[in-house]
């Protein structure tokens, strides 16, 4: 009789272990349910922002620092306060500042607003090109910039004023669009 009781106890213990295991599996892994209408995109703000865009070869094509960057999840547009942008182009560095900027969702277009300053410095010669204007559209990949606003340019001792300008940073060219006035220093 003792053997029969022992077998029943072992069978009952095995059944209890199997039941416990089944119940714990159901509690450990709840069914995955999708939540309809859940928005997974968030608006955010970054303070003391520093960012870099890399080209296809992993080299830095653009660096930006700003006190704040705010991103709108719905449009993908970023708003930057007091951006400081540095673009390295072979032996020349471009330093660009503005009161504010909007960065497109694809990060290819930056609209600079307010007092915009573009400074090109040649690392080998120390030569400076200083441009002051407002409302500049900076195209990141082709490295071009344009404005329809008034422009003041200082290069060496020369001063140029115009309305509208287009800059090609790769080919080191700029074109003044209209109402060009110049003052050249003769050495």
Quick: pLDDT tens for 130-173: 999 999 999 988 899 999 999 999 988 889 999 999 999 988 89
Rounded-to-integer distance, Cα 45 and Cα 58, Å: 26
Residues 15-39, mean pLDDT to the nearest whole number = 67
Buried b or exposed e, range 108-121, using 16+ CB within 10 angstroms? eebebbeebebebe
Residue 35 has a pLDDT of 59
Rounded-to-integer distance, Cα 112 and Cα 48, Å: 19
| Closest to 77 in 3D by CA, of 56, 46, 40, 106 | 106
Rounded-to-integer distance, Cα 135 and Cα 3, Å: 94
Task: Tell me the pTM.
Answer: 0.73
Q: pLDDT tens digits, residue range 107-126? A: 889 999 999 999 999 888 88
In this structure, of 12-16, 30-34, 110-114, the range with the lowest mean pLDDT score is 30-34
- The answer, yes or no, to whether residue 186 has pLDDT greater than 80, is no
Q: Are 94 and 120 within 8 A, CB to CB?
A: yes
| 3-class secondary structure, 7 | helix
Q: pLDDT tens digits, residue range 49-100? A: 898 888 788 888 789 999 998 988 888 898 999 999 998 887 889 999 999 9
């Amino acid at each position: 009789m003792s053997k029969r009781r022992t077998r029943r106890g072992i069978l009952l213990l095995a059944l209890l272990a199997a039941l416990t295991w089944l119940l714990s599996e159901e509690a450990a892994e709840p069914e995955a349910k999708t939540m309809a209408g859940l928005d997974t995109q968030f608006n955010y703000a970054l303070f003391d922002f520093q960012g870099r865009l890399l080209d296809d070869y992993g080299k830095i094509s653009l660096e930006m620092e700003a006190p704040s960057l705010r991103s709108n999840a719905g449009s993908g547009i970023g708003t930057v306060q007091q951006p400081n942008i540095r673009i390295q182009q072979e032996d020349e560095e471009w330093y660009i500042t503005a009161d504010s900027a909007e960065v497109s969702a694809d990060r290819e277009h930056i609209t600079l607003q307010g007092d915009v300053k573009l400074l090109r410095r040649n690392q080998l010669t120390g030569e400076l090109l200083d441009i002051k204007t407002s409302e500049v559209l900076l195209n990141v990949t082709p490295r071009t910039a344009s404005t329809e606003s008034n422009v003041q340019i200082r290069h060496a001792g020369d001063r140029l004023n115009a309305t509208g300008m287009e800059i090609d940073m790769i080919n080191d060219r700029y074109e003044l669009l209209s109402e060009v006035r110049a003052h050249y220093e003769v050495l």
